[in-house]
Amino acid sequence: MSDQQQDTDAPPPPKGRPAGGTEQSWCKAVPGGTGITVLSLLLSKPPNFSILQNTLHNLQISHPILRSKLHFSTTTTPSFSFITPPTPHLQIQLFDLSSTAEILRSLNNPSLSPFQLILEHELNNTTWRDLDLSLYSETDVFFASVYSLSDAEWAVVLRLHTAACDRTSAAALLREISAAVAEGGGGVEREIEGGGEVSLGIEDCVPNGKGNKPFWARGVDMVGYSLNALRLANLNFVDVESPRCSKVVRLKISSDHTHRILSGCKSRGIGLCGALAAAGLIAGRSSKSLPDDQWEKYAVVTLIDCRPILDPVLSSNHLGFYHSATLNTHDIKGGETLWDLAMRTYNAFANSKKNNKHFSDMADINFLMCKVIDNPGLTPSSSMRTSFISVFEDPVIDHSSEMHREIGLKDYMGCASVHGVGPSIAIFDTIRDGALDCMRGFKKGVGKFENLRRSLKNNFEFSRI
């Protein structure tokens, strides 16, 4: 065989691109424990591993970022890049009944369902944590596991690096996996994103002029964010010595009550995120048992899916991290009603978005996030908390389908870890068949979960009209 023929038969070299500014921030955050996205599916039918493996490989072909590896380089400025092999390579990790039972025994929390315990286990069992970056050459961004919970239930868990998968991406994955598995692993033919290469990061898709900010204005904002951070109140740590990890509290609200909440939001011209933020603020403050006349300053981060407002516009099936954030602070004392506070928090967010701060402040917020990671001692108890609560501008809307029944999908949960840099509480909200279903991620040791859960639910009682 000639050298020329050998060169022709050789596999094509992997493609790649440097991570963008927001992606670089997540790459720095994830080893510390924030930014591990987990989508967990509860099945009443045993999954066909061959079909599931084929489905995930097809997803890696359609979405090159899912088969990418993160590459860390220190040759010049330390930075991350996406390196994309030409072929899919993910292998599902299987846990039989005995190995799953051993994991559940080690978690030792009989008050939670095995399904939720496995979700928390995956949030805190990451390939990317406590890595020596000098040895961090390449690592996958996408992992999959199947746990046998009993003879009648199985959990399929996808764990992804948040730089490659935001909440919208996770919802798209759920839709595509359900459709493909129902069809026997083939899936619907679709265009391959980016012609087989990882698509551009969010910074390269900001509409012209939207992200501009004068130099002096940027400096003033940076000083303002930094000084405000020193005055922010958060939930006190109950346990400051144990290793930090993420815990999840789930709150389900009936479809009738959800309808009243949404109607209350609509009649006041605000989004659901305002009501969720307000309920969280009232619940958090009430858990401190402070006098009603004592004021505290709280920060709310609102995450915006920018896909519809980027250039070019991206579809909801376009995977990657394309969220931006606004940060607003609010002075809170006892006695606020949910709706008054909801209108205040939402209007502050809406004004920030109207002024394009989700684009113009993107670099500032990423920079401050990285500074907090590098200097945790500047925050209370080295907690690296940057806000009290984070919410999403819009909820995920989902409806049960024949595909769900066909594959035996009983339930699913999706959220991301928060025990490194970030908020004390992160809310991941979905409206399923008209009923509000919220995942609330907490840092272990912050506040008392059950007290907060009850307080959150009680505060939604104000929404009755």
The whole-number pLDDT of residue 462 equals 43
The whole-number pLDDT of residue 235 equals 77
- Distance between CA atoms of residues 185 and 53, nearest Å: 8
The whole-number pLDDT of residue 241 equals 73
Comparing 40-44, 55-59, 137-141, 183-187, which segment has the lowest mean pLDDT?
A: 183-187
Asked if the 8-196 domain carries CATH number 3.30.559.10, the reply is yes
Give tens-digit pLDDT for 20-44: 999 999 999 998 889 999 999 999 9
pLDDT at 464 exceeding the cut of 50 = no
- Distance between CA atoms of residues 249 and 233, nearest Å: 21
The whole-number pLDDT of residue 286 equals 82
When the candidates are 1.10.3720.10, 3.30.70.260, 3.40.630.30, 3.30.559.30, the CATH number that belongs to 202-463 is 3.30.559.30
Same topology, domains 8-196 and 202-463? Answer is: yes
Share of the chain above pLDDT 90, in %: 54
Nearest to 391 by CA among 346, 330, 433, 434: 346
Give tens-digit pLDDT for 110-132: 888 999 999 999 998 877 764 44
- Cβ atoms of 159 and 285 closer than 8 Å: no
- What are the backbone angles phi and psi of residue 35, rounded to the nearest 5°? 110, 25
The whole-number pLDDT of residue 457 equals 55
The whole-number pLDDT of residue 451 equals 58
pLDDT mean over 194-210: 87
The whole-number pLDDT of residue 336 equals 87
The mean of the pLDDT values for the chain is 85
Give tens-digit pLDDT for 386-417: 899 999 999 999 988 778 888 899 999 999 99
Q: Omega into 14 within 30° of 0, i.e. cis? A: no
Strands (E), 211-255: 246-252
pLDDT at 301 exceeding the cut of 70 = yes
- Distance between CA atoms of residues 72 and 83, nearest Å: 10
Classify residue 319 by its DSSP letter. Answer: -
- What are the backbone angles phi and psi of residue 199, rounded to the nearest 5°? -70, 170
Distance of CA 51 to the CA centre of its chain: 27
Pairing of strands 396-398, 422-432: parallel
Q: How many CB atoms are located within 10 Å of the residue 5 CB?
A: 9
- Cβ atoms of 157 and 147 closer than 8 Å: yes
Distance of CA 193 to the CA centre of its chain: 22
The more confidently predicted of residues 164 and 284 is 164
Classify residue 45 by its DSSP letter. Answer: S
Using pLDDT thresholds of 50, 70 and 90, give the confidence band for residue 465. Answer: very low
Buried b (16+ CB within 10 A) or exposed e, 342-381: bbbbbebbbebbeebbbbbbbbbbbebbbebbeeeeebee
pLDDT at 461 exceeding the cut of 70 = no
- Distance between CA atoms of residues 232 and 299, nearest Å: 7
Classify residue 290 by its DSSP letter. Answer: -
Comparing 233-242, 256-265, 299-308, which segment has the lowest mean pLDDT?
A: 233-242
- Distance between CA atoms of residues 234 and 300, nearest Å: 11
Q: At what angle do helices 49-62 and 167-182 cross, to 10 degrees?
A: 130
In the chain, where the domains are located: 8-196, 202-463
Nearest to 115 by CA among 250, 233, 236, 228: 250
pLDDT mean over 237-254: 81
pLDDT mean over 244-267: 90
pLDDT at 6 exceeding the cut of 70 = no
Residue type, 433: D
- Distance between CA atoms of residues 116 and 111, nearest Å: 10
| pTM (predicted TM-score) | 0.90
The more confidently predicted of residues 14 and 346 is 346
pLDDT mean over 434-449: 71
DSSP-assigned beta bridge partners for residue 83: 16, 69
pLDDT mean over 139-161: 96
Look up residue 390 and give its two tokens. 């984070």
First to last CA, the chain: 80
